Chain A
Amino acid sequence: MNAVLSIAKTTIGEAIRRRVLLVILLIGVLFLVIAPGLSVLSARQNYTVLTSFTLGIIQLTSAVIAIVLTVYLLPNEVERRTIYTILSKPVYRWHFLLGKYLGAVGALAMMMLLMSTVLVLVFKIMQRDASMEDVMRLATAPIFFFVQMSLLAAVAMFFSTFVSPIVNIFLSGGVYLIGTLFSPVFQDLSNNKNLSPAVKGAATLVHTVVPNFAQYNIQSGIINRGPELRSVELYYATIVGYALIYITVFLIAGMMVFDRKEV
């Protein structure tokens, strides 16, 4: 386990030194800072626009960081041949993969924490009447974005075991797109009585198997009104459990591929 943690720690150090990630992060933070000025462009109330825009920035920036950070982790090690030094030590390949993933998630967490801090500061400055409860409600969204991005990082990590980084960007982005936007479409298809059983079965399979990223987008409830769930905690526990299961699935699958890969 020490080996995993050491690899994770090194990965975090590498990640925060990578300029491309820092530039993306900087752009995200910059947009968060100028967000209040953009609210005059919209017809909706300041609160709505500010919340929508800032949370959108965090989600978009985090998704880009999660993909860009993860897709290069394994290929870079192979390309620079540093992987041979590591694997020559008493470290299993799955240790390496797991350490890399945890490092990516750790770096992602730090970057998202920075953006969330800026978000809360901007929100508090612009919405002076906002109560602590409002701030806490707002801060809930980035927490679930983090869970979402951890899942996305696992997807990208899996693909990085057998495809090139550029292809991986499109594959991971595609899975994210399908899992975010098209879940409702697949669900509609699977419930449509007019379709043939084969089409319905395929839609049900896709809806069930492809990771569902949409359910981590809880900002609509924050922007518009609070959810009327009887047990919010149970819902949160369910979707976090779902993410953990799928992260495990993608990591196991990645380990199986990486275990037999010629490096």
Chain B
Amino acid sequence: MSRKVFEIVARIMVVPVDAVSLESSPETLENWDSLRHMKLILAIEESLDVQFSDDDIVSIKNVRDLLACVEARH
């Protein structure tokens, strides 16, 4: 699951997969602006067939949070 999430993060943020880690966030990836943040949430929901709650959505600050939300909803 984490590999798939990393690949989606890399695609949306337009960076190599190797550049993505659990700590990747708007602070560490220059491309991670608010628009890409929202596109990332939408891409994860669509690609992995999960649906986040509002609380999930606002809790996502980095890839670690994102992965935790995916695993909790999958």
Do these two chains really belong together in a complex?
Answer: no
User: CB within 8 Å of A: which residues of B?
Assistant: none
